[in-house]
C-alpha cells in the first residue's frame, strides 16, 4: 500500500474514532474506540510520525499521529488505564515541546493539565514541579486546564482540605474526575489514619464531616474497608499496641484543629 493510501485510510479511521469517542449523548463507545485505536496505531507507524524531512506531507502525517495519540490518551483515562495514559503523555510531550511548528492542538492544555493531576494523584510531587517548569507563565496563570492542578497542589501543601474537596465540583473537564477521585480518596485515608491515632472512637456525624462524605452510607462503606466498628452514632477504631512515646492523640488533634482553622482563614 502506498504512503498516500495509508495516510488516507488513517484519516478515515481517525474520523471514525473521533465520532465514536464523542458517542451518543456524550457517552463514548469504548469498545469500538479501542478497536479503531489499535488499527490506527499500526497505520501511523507506516507514516512520518517523527520529523525526518521538511515537507507539508511530513507535517500532515505528524499532525495526524499527534491527534491519534491525544485520543489514545483520553481513551486511556476513560478506561482507567493510568500506565497507558503515562505512555501516551511521554509521546505527546515531544510533539508539544519539541515540534512547535505543528498546527495548534485542541487538546494540548487539557492533556497537560491531566498529566499534572495524574502526578499529584500518584504523589509524584517532584515530577509535578519538573513538568510545571516546562510551561509558560501565561499558561500557569491564565489557562483554565493548567491552573486547576496547580491550585490543587497548593491546597495540598497548605493542608486546606475544604477547598480541595470543593475542587471536585469545579473541574474544567469531566476527564479530570478520575484523578480527582483518586486524590481525594488518598486524602481521606490520610485523615482516617490521623483519626485512628488520635481517638478510640468518634461520633459518626463528626467522622462524616472530617472525611467529607456526603452520606452516612459512604462513611459506612469506608469504615468497613478499614475494619472500623460502625454503628449509626459511634465509630470505634481498632487498637494496636504501640511503644511510641509521642502523645499521638494530642499531636493529631492539634493538626486537625489547625487544618480546620486554616480553612476558615483561607
pLDDT tens for residues 83-124? 999 999 999 999 999 887 889 999 999 999 999 999 999 999
Measure the CA–CA gap between 112 and 9, rounded to whole angstroms: 29
Asked if 199 and 237 count as a contact pair (C-beta separation under 8 A), the reply is yes
Q: What domain range is 229 assigned to?
A: 199-239
Structural domain total, the chain? 3
Q: Both 94 and 125 in a single domain?
A: no
User: Is 262 a member of any domain?
Assistant: no
- Residue 256's pLDDT band, with cuts at 50, 70 and 90, is low
Residue 29: other Cβ atoms inside 10 A: 15
CATH assignment at residue 158: 1.25.40.990
Q: Both 29 and 93 in a single domain?
A: yes
pTM of the model: 0.82
pLDDT confidence of residue 169: 86
Measure the CA–CA gap between 259 and 254, rounded to whole angstroms: 9
- Residue 162's pLDDT band, with cuts at 50, 70 and 90, is confident
Q: Both 15 and 91 in a single domain?
A: yes
Q: Both 209 and 158 in a single domain?
A: no
Chain center to CA of 196: 28
User: Is 261 a member of any domain?
Assistant: no
Question: Measuring CA to CA, which residue among 102, 38, 129, 48 is closest to residue 75?
Answer: 38
Model confidence pLDDT, tens digit, residues 195-242: 999 999 999 999 999 999 999 999 999 999 999 999 889 999 987 655
Give the single-character DSSP code of 242.
Answer: -
Residue 54: other Cβ atoms inside 10 A: 8
- As a whole number, the mean pLDDT across the chain is 87
Question: What number is the average pLDDT over the span 252-265?
Answer: 57
Last residue of one domain, picked from the residues 159, 179, 195? 195
Model confidence pLDDT, tens digit, residues 30-69: 999 999 999 999 998 888 765 555 556 788 899 999 999 9
Q: Both 4 and 86 in a single domain?
A: yes
Supply 226's cell numbers: 478499614
Q: Both 98 and 134 in a single domain?
A: no
Q: Both 214 and 161 in a single domain?
A: no
pLDDT confidence of residue 88: 97
User: Is 119 a member of any domain?
Assistant: yes
Q: Both 173 and 233 in a single domain?
A: no
- Residue 266's pLDDT band, with cuts at 50, 70 and 90, is very low
User: Is 265 a member of any domain?
Assistant: no
Q: Is the pLDDT confidence value at 258 over 60?
A: no
SS3 helix, strand, coil % of the chain, rounded to 5? 70, 5, 25
231: exposed, middle or buried (C-beta count within 10 Å: 0-12, 13-18, 19+)?
exposed
Amino acid at each position: 500500500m502506498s504512503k498516500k493510501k495509508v495516510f488516507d485510510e488513517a484519516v478515515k479511521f481517525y474520523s471514525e474514532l473521533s465520532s465514536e469517542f464523542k458517542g451518543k449523548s456524550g457517552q463514548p463507545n469504548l469498545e469500538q474506540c479501542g478497536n479503531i485505536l489499535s488499527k490506527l496505531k499500526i497505520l501511523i507507524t507506516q507514516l512520518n510520525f517523527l520529523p525526518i524531512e521538511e515537507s507539508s506531507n511530513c507535517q500532515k502525517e505528524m499532525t495526524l499521529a499527534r491527534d491519534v495519540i491525544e485520543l489514545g490518551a483520553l481513551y486511556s483515562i476513560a478506561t482507567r488505564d493510568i500506565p497507558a495514559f503515562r505512555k501516551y503523555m511521554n509521546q505527546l510531550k515531544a510533539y508539544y515541546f519539541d515540534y512547535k511548528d505543528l498546527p495548534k492542538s485542541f487538546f494540548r492544555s487539557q492533556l497537560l493539565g491531566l498529566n499534572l493531576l495524574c502526578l499529584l494523584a500518584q504523589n509524584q510531587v517532584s515530577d509535578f514541579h519538573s513538568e510545571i517548569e516546562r510551561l509558560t507563565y501565561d499558561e500557569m496563570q491564565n489557562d483554565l486546564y493548567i491552573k486547576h492542578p496547580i491550585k490543587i497542589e497548593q491546597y495540598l501543601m497548605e493542608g486546606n482540605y475544604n477547598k480541595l474537596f470543593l475542587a471536585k465540583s469545579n473541574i474544567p473537564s469531566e476527564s479530570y474526575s478520575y484523578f480527582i477521585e483518586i486524590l481525594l480518596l488518598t486524602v481521606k485515608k490520610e485523615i482516617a489514619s490521623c483519626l485512628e491515632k488520635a481517638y478510640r472512637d468518634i461520633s459518626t456525624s463528626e467522622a462524616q464531616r472530617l472525611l467529607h462524605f456526603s452520606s452516612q452510607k459512604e462513611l459506612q462503606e469506608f469504615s468497613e474497608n478499614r475494619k472500623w466498628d460502625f454503628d449509626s452514632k459511634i465509630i470505634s477504631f481498632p487498637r494496636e499496641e504501640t511503644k511510641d512515646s509521642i502523645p499521638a492523640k494530642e499531636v493529631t488533634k492539634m493538626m486537625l484543629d489547625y487544618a480546620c482553622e486554616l480553612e476558615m482563614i483561607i
